[in-house]
Structure 1
Amino acid sequence: MSADENLQELFLLSQLLSDEEIFQNLPPEPSLPLQQPDQQRYVDYSALDQAEFIEQQKKRNTVRNTNTAVKQFEQWLKAMRPTENRPISDIPPAELDEYLASYFLGARQKDKSEYEPDTLTNYQRGIDRFLQDSGYGHSIIRDKEFEKSRKCLAAKRVSLKKQGKGNKPNAAERLTDEEIKILTEQGIIKRSTPESLFNACTNNTKMLGFRGGQENRQLKWGDIVLKTTAGGLEYLEFNERETKTRWGQAVGPTRPFNPKIFATPDNKDSCPIETYRQFASRRPTEMSTPESLFYLAINYVPVNDIWYKKLPMGQNRLASVVRTMTSKAGIAGKKTNHSMRKTAITNLLHTGVPPTRVQQLSGHSNVQSVNNYAIPSLEQQQEMSNVLCNSNTSQLSH
């Protein structure tokens, strides 16, 4: 019997037998030994462990700001509504909305002066975060039940701005090209000493769009990797771990690409790759694992050309690096670690880089936040002044 005839016979047989009969005639499958569950593969988290893990992932600044906002509101309630003893998360929306409306209008600092508009808005957000964490069920920022308090806050902001508030007198200033030059010429940003090399590294991070405090503090040695393009140009690539806005909601990086710093072969004195290489060679070998902190405590008495200790740099020291640098150089103005970020974003905008592209580097959630950095530099303001002066002079001459 040919192969075609065999297939035809099997087909005719399948038409006569039911599915159940066909399966009954199939040979039994070989039995497999039962495998015991691998309990060591998994980690069992109790309800308490789960709560502790969530708390650990919250950002310190967010927690502090939330606690401050709630504390200020509770102090106001104690002073102005002394009969109100309920936790704010137990106050019904209608009553809480009335309290908040009065609070936003009447809140004052300890010296009885008015708050900045943004401070009151931050307090509103902090109270809302607390209520959400407490399972309140309503948002004072979005829900219609709190429309009155929102309108009062908006009106209060307008009133404060009319009084000259909200101009951000304490805002960090960017570093100008001239100021960077001063820091370099005075050897404050260089590779000649442990401190100047550390300063040079922090200065280079502005090219990664870093948030001045958080991302420098959390930076691990393995987060920045030295790579080479197909054309042979070396560069550093930053692999983002987490950001200030990502706990409980988003999970992935906020930047759509890994920021990079490219070598400048024509200018080795300021080449960021050369700075990185020297910084790597001055570290203890044990502190060059991927999970080692990037910034280490400075060893002012180096041993065997190792300039840094097997200890993390103190948070206060790391948080004040820009202020320390500019103070030594005699540079005036409000200079903080945020000045680095502001310098990077402002310079990119001034040179014509589209705000949407800058946003992808900086990790801002919306492009309007980037546009807030597009303030004309002193030189640009001078140019505008010259244009207007020349225009006035031209009109007077006619």
Structure 2
Amino acid sequence: MDVLGDSDDLILSQALESFENFDELDEKDVEFGNFTFDVDEFLKELEKQDNIKTEQYDVRTDPPERFGKPVNSTEIKELHKSQESTNTRRNTSWGVKVFDDWRKSRNANSGLEMQLPDLLSCSSQDLDHILSCFVIECRRADGSPYPPKTLYQLCAAISRFMRDNEIDLNFLDGKDMRFRNFRKTLDARMKQLATEGIGVTIRQADPISPEMENALWEGGHLGMKTSVALTNTIFFYNCKLFGLRGLDEHRSLVTEQFKLDKISDKMFITFYGRTSKNFAGGLNQRNLTAKEVKHDCGPDGPRNLFHVYQTYIDMVGPGSMYRRPLAGEGLKYSKQVMGVNKLGKIIKDMCSGAGFHGNFSNHSGKRTCATNLFQSGIEEQLVMSRTGHRSTAVRNYKRPSQEQLSAVSMALNPPKLGSEENECAAEFEANNSKLPKLMVDPMRTPMINITNCNVHIFDAGNK
């Protein structure tokens, strides 16, 4: 193959970019190995398809902005740090601080020969023993033990700290036999804590039920009567419609990520996601794409969200999504971006103002999204398309309704006698009608796979 010139390099880069964007390209059709690549034939074919323009120019006389300015080591490290999750960085600092506090406390009560070195000075043998002691002895500031999952997170934070300092001692790797004793100790300690009932009850954000949501509208906490209510509405439905998380995804939102369309008599809001917890866009996610959700706003009416979003976006203009609402009558917003503290408790303040009792936080919005879809019988894959989950973690966000729970209970209760039987059957039918319908093929026996248990479902007419 001939050596390519600079102009050929530009043309080919455009061509290959166009080639990568072909919808019909499938990885199974691509083979790697020794092959002959005819540049001229390739470019002629692309010109026929009018996919690229192949203007010739002299790269020596054209603008030199093709490449970025030279960077140094400091700038490279700053780039790494800028793309690291704030929560991850905070958790790492927290884990290392807990370890250092424990080490200092232990050293203060030990002789010189028993002094523990700092993390970066430990050998693998020392680290195996020291961490085993740490997971058994470490406590919260009030003296109570850490829950099992928190204990693991502490160890993960220490592991990240070691890796960030270019020390390759991954003591959580099950294949590394140097830390076998530590992993056995951590496993035993976590089981011991669970046996004692520590950390077995997880406090989660409560979803907002349809009845609560209606009360928020009727009470003026949602809607367009005031600037605060309009901000509440935008924030809540950004969570409910598009599955945005508690705070981090909201902070970086801009109005340009929302597109409003009217097609015939239908109204749509399209959300174009960027980076998030589930999509960072790095090396390991190069084959994934950012979330894109097109929401049908349904029939026109006083609560149609198309008009709500249109009014809000027109008010705040381009740029940051959340601006500080101004008090008083009418819809008025400051140019100032809403502060993190205020943004972090929008749903909590809204629910508190409405008199709701429960654990309501910004995370309630995303939990409401998953719960409403689950209770409506929507397939899990479609639920995940809204929430952005790529694994079964979405199941942690679903909450069954009371009717669904009652139907399960009725199915498991002992059989009734006499007059109770008819009453029980009627109640079961009433509750069962609230459950998502399972399509049953009369020609075969469907089966639900549950861990260690296969449940067969028989159609009543085809036993």
- Report the TM range for the smaller structure's normalisation: 0.7 to 0.9
- For residues 255 and 63 of structure 2, the distance between their equivalents in structure 1, rounded to whole angstroms, comes to 37
Largest Rg, 1 or 2: 1
Choose which of 77, 97, 101 in structure 2 pairs with 1:51.
Answer: 77
Matched, 1:209 2:243: yes
Matched, 1:370 2:394: yes
1:226–1:236 contact (8 Å) kept in structure 2: yes
Matched, 1:340 2:365: yes
Amino acid at match of 1:211: R
- For residues 211 and 372 of structure 1, the distance between their equivalents in structure 2, rounded to whole angstroms, comes to 14
Q: Which residues of 2 match residues 109-128 of structure 1 at below 5 A?
A: 109-128=140-159
- For residues 306 and 191 of structure 1, the distance between their equivalents in structure 2, rounded to whole angstroms, comes to 8
Query: Relative to 1, partners in 2 of residues 1:374 and 1:280: Cα closer, same or farther, differing over 3 Å?
Result: closer
- For residues 111 and 172 of structure 1, the distance between their equivalents in structure 2, rounded to whole angstroms, comes to 25
Residue in 1 that maps onto 2:18? none
- For residues 377 and 315 of structure 2, the distance between their equivalents in structure 1, rounded to whole angstroms, comes to 38
- For residues 393 and 172 of structure 1, the distance between their equivalents in structure 2, rounded to whole angstroms, comes to 37
Q: Which residues of 2 match residues 53-92 of structure 1 at below 5 A?
A: 53-81=79-107, 83-84=114-115, 86-92=117-123
Q: Could you report, residue by residue, the CA deviation over 1:93-151 in whole angstroms, capped at 9, with x for unpaired residues?
A: 22112211221122211221111222112112211211111111132222513232222
1:262–1:272 contact (8 Å) kept in structure 2: no
Of Structure 1 and Structure 2, the greater helix share is in: 1
CA deviation after TM superposition for structure 1 residue 79, in Å: 2.0
Q: 1 or 2 for the larger relative contact order (CA 8 Å, sep ≥6)?
A: 1
- For residues 113 and 254 of structure 1, the distance between their equivalents in structure 2, rounded to whole angstroms, comes to 42
Higher mean C-alpha displacement, 134-143 vs 190-199: 134-143
Higher mean C-alpha displacement, 67-76 vs 139-148: 139-148
Amino acid at match of 2:298: T
Secondary structure at the aligned position of 1:259 is classed as strand
Q: Which residues of 2 match residues 220-369 of structure 1 at below 5 A?
A: 220-228=254-262, 233-244=266-277, 246=280, 249-250=283-284, 257-266=291-300, 268-283=301-316, 288-289=317-318, 292-301=319-328, 307-367=332-392, 369=393
- For residues 312 and 253 of structure 1, the distance between their equivalents in structure 2, rounded to whole angstroms, comes to 34
Secondary structure at the aligned position of 2:332 is classed as strand
Query: Relative to 1, partners in 2 of residues 1:170 and 1:277: Cα closer, same or farther, differing over 3 Å?
Result: same
Query: Relative to 1, partners in 2 of residues 1:269 and 1:232: Cα closer, same or farther, differing over 3 Å?
Result: closer
Query: Relative to 1, partners in 2 of residues 1:281 and 1:360: Cα closer, same or farther, differing over 3 Å?
Result: closer
1:197–1:279 contact (8 Å) kept in structure 2: yes
Higher mean C-alpha displacement, 257-266 vs 176-185: 257-266
**Cα RMSD between the aligned structures?**
2.7
CA deviation after TM superposition for structure 1 residue 62, in Å: 1.2
Q: Which residues of 2 match residues 183-202 of structure 1 at below 5 A?
A: 183-202=216-235
- For residues 170 and 144 of structure 2, the distance between their equivalents in structure 1, rounded to whole angstroms, comes to 29
Secondary structure at the aligned position of 1:269 is classed as coil
- For residues 209 and 101 of structure 1, the distance between their equivalents in structure 2, rounded to whole angstroms, comes to 40
Query: Relative to 1, partners in 2 of residues 1:33 and 1:182: Cα closer, same or farther, differing over 3 Å?
Result: closer
Amino acid at match of 1:235: F
2:245–2:366 contact (8 Å) kept in structure 1: yes
Amino acid at match of 2:334: K
Amino acid at match of 2:179: F
Number of residue-to-residue matches in the alignment: 355
Q: Which runs of 5+ in 1 are unaligned?
A: 1-31
Q: Could you report, residue by residue, the CA deviation over 1:61-120 in whole angstroms, capped at 9, with x for unpaired residues?
A: 111111001111121122225654643133122211221122112221122111122211
Residue in 1 that maps onto 2:162? 131
Question: If the length of structure 2 is used for normalisation, what is the TM-score?
Answer: 0.70
Secondary structure at the aligned position of 2:333 is classed as strand
Matched, 1:95 2:118: no
Question: If the length of structure 1 is used for normalisation, what is the TM-score?
Answer: 0.81
- For residues 143 and 215 of structure 2, the distance between their equivalents in structure 1, rounded to whole angstroms, comes to 42
2:92–2:161 contact (8 Å) kept in structure 1: yes
CA deviation after TM superposition for structure 1 residue 362, in Å: 1.9
CA deviation after TM superposition for structure 1 residue 51, in Å: 1.1
- For residues 53 and 395 of structure 1, the distance between their equivalents in structure 2, rounded to whole angstroms, comes to 74
CA deviation after TM superposition for structure 1 residue 323, in Å: 0.5
Higher mean C-alpha displacement, 272-281 vs 313-322: 272-281
Q: Which runs of 5+ in 2 are unaligned?
A: 1-57, 109-113, 422-463
- For residues 187 and 69 of structure 2, the distance between their equivalents in structure 1, rounded to whole angstroms, comes to 48
Q: Percentage identity across aligned positions? A: 26
- For residues 223 and 146 of structure 1, the distance between their equivalents in structure 2, rounded to whole angstroms, comes to 47
